[in-house]
A and B are shown apart, each in its own frame.
Chain A
């Protein structure tokens, strides 16, 4: 319990539009323990992006609050790292300049910046591509830059909003394995948003299933612990227990 790093307390988010008020999130409460890999799944429009924007401090909830290490999150800050759904590497910076962005902004000593940059470029396997611009990279490589850049800034928590949503299936599965390896090395809390249930089960310790808040239905559907041992290998996807759990959660999701 005391190991909680991030918690959402009774969060609701209403948007007023021309067509009236839209409830994007309703009474959502959950907490994330330090070092965990938590996945948030849910159908399109259930408020996943809204939630991540609130957790990152980019959006103020209508009700409730977000606590990071016991302190309220009110603004965008470097303690919460982001890997966006879109490719977000700065096009005017090389791979190296992108990865070193956080440390450079923080005005770390030069040797430290170089060390961090080298380490994270190596971690995502982009050695030899340091001096390329994003336009010269493939989709998977761009995503690696985004991930390395977020890690290089050493946030306390990493939020990832469907980071592999735009990738083809093979690249996506490859990136999932790499992300797990990185997560294992870095021991950093990751909150991973996806609409792909299999992806969520494969990656996470815990899956939080959201639903569209309609009527007196609240945002939280179910929280499921994922017991499968690590390291997780591609074969896990064919495991009967894995498939059973996936089927079960898929049923819960459409209910």
Chain B
């Protein structure tokens, strides 16, 4: 009886795995067929083999482009996130700081970071600096708002409980506030990480000699669709890996969060 149940569970898992793979496999097959056996020109739809060949052809350059984009993303992401979280903590925690800064944050919040790229280029030049600042700005906006909200949502019950157990303000901050908001902050960070890749590419479109954006722009300029797609694939893979890394950290830090399992 029990064995049967275990077996069924095992089968269900396998079915799920097969279903998961089948969607991707079908798309790949469709792509392969369309690109190789129809008259759609390579310009519009290069075949999978061509993409692989392109990867190989550029394999010497690709690491350079990856590191250059990742450098911008990582620096912008960390600086923007750190400032956002720290400001969010202050605004959420202290009434005076909130009264002064929150209207400002509310005004800046709807500004699309991409719309600011030309301004940043004007201020900081066309180099890495303006790109990093766009990414940092994007990260800052999301995390400052996210952190304020998270601090506001901390159940006052826990603050009272800590105080009645002898905690001073710093103790409450350290042992209640920070752990209580961690899940929300990490959720924000995941959004920010995904955004950062997009903003990096957009900034690189405005002019760069290296990076994912460069590959894509070069692909378009010389009508090498395969190169363009290689650029897109590289960002996608890097973004996926970043997301996986954050999920891993999240799992370690938020084991205590009650979750609905499915």
Q: Give me the interface of A with B, judged by CB distance under 8 Å.
A: 56, 58, 76-78, 80-82, 84, 86, 88, 90-93, 101-102, 105-106, 133-135, 149-150, 153
Contact = CB atoms under 8 A, between A and B. Distances in A.
B164 A92 contact: no
Interface of B: 157-158, 160-167, 171, 175-176, 179-180, 182, 255-258
Contact of B166 (A58, A84, A92, A153): A153
A92 B160 contact: no
Contacts of B166: 77-78, 102, 105-106, 153
Contacts of B175: 90, 101, 105
Given A91-B257, A105-B175, A58 B160 contact: yes
A80 B164 contact: yes
A82 B160 contact: yes
Main SS at interface, chain A: loop
A53 to B, nearest CB: 9
A58 B157 CA distance: 11
Contacts of B162: 90, 101, 105
Nearest to A104: B175
Nearest to A91: B256
Nearest to A81: B164
Contacts of A80: 164
B161 A84 contact: yes
Given A90-B179, A106-B166, A135 B161 contact: no
A101 B174 CA distance: 12
A105 B164 contact: no
A86 B165 contact: no
Contacts of A101: 162, 165, 175
A150 B166 CA distance: 11
Given A76-B164, A84-B157, 18 more contacts: A56-B164, A76-B160, A78-B165, A88-B158, A90-B162, A90-B175, A92-B180, A102-B165, A102-B166, A105-B166, A105-B171, A105-B175, A106-B166, A133-B255, A135-B256, A135-B258, A149-B165, A153-B165
7 contacts: A56-B164, A58-B160, A76-B163, A101-B165, A105-B171, A105-B175, A133-B256
Nearest to B182: A92
Contacts of B176: 90
Given A78-B166, A82-B164, A88-B157, A135 B179 contact: no
Contacts of A133: 255-256
Contact of A105 (B158, B160, B165, B256): B165
Contact of B167 (A58, A105, A135): A105
A150 B164 CA distance: 9
Contacts of A105: 162, 165-167, 171, 175
A56 B159 CA distance: 14
Contacts of B164: 56, 58, 76-78, 80-82
A90 B164 CA distance: 13
A102 B171 CA distance: 11
Nearest to B259: A135
A135 B165 contact: no
Nearest to B180: A92
A93 B176 CA distance: 10
Give the interface centre of B157, B161, B165, B258 by most chain A CB atoms within 10 Å. B165
Nearest to A155: B164
B161 A90 contact: yes
Contacts of A92: 179-180, 182, 256
B202 to A, nearest CB: 37
A160 B248 CA distance: 40
Nearest to B160: A58
A90 B257 contact: no
A101 B145 CA distance: 31
Contacts of A78: 164-166
A54 B162 CA distance: 17
A255 B256 CA distance: 48
A77 B163 CA distance: 7
Given A76-B163, A105-B167, A135 B257 contact: yes
A88 B161 CA distance: 7
Nearest to A87: B157
Contacts of A134: 256
Contacts of A82: 160-161, 164
